[in-house]
Amino acid sequence: MTSEKLIEKFSVLLNMERRQQKEKRDKIRALLKKLKKQQVNLQVKLEKEQDPGDRKRLKRNLKVIQAQRKKGIKLCKSIKCK
């Protein structure tokens, strides 16, 4: 096999990896948008809620969503696509 063919095969493999990384990053971004929407909705509900039990539940859910968003943002930044 000539070096040109090897280089061509290698570039095809690299392009596949980049495409897969980009798709993964795009899916993570879409999920982050949905989580952000849920976070805003929970914050609004928390401000309106008067019952201490419900407030505690909403705060716990809000913390979970914030933690998941933080993980997602970190993962999205670690995936590098050029």
Q: Domain segments of the chain: what residues?
A: 3-78
Those residues whose C-beta lies under 8 Å from the C-beta of residue 50, and which sit 6 or more positions away, are none
Q: What is the structure's pLDDT at 82?
A: 45
Distance CA 64, CA 29 (A): 18
pLDDT digits (tens, 9 = 90+) for 2-59: 788 888 887 877 788 888 888 999 999 999 999 999 999 999 999 999 999 999 999 9
d(CA 33, CA 48): 23
Q: What mean pLDDT is predicted for residues 66-77?
A: 93
Q: Decide if pLDDT at 67 tops 90.
A: yes
Confidence of residue 1 (pLDDT cuts 50, 70, 90): low
Higher pLDDT, 14 or 61: 61
CA angle 15, 17, 23 (to 5 degrees): 100
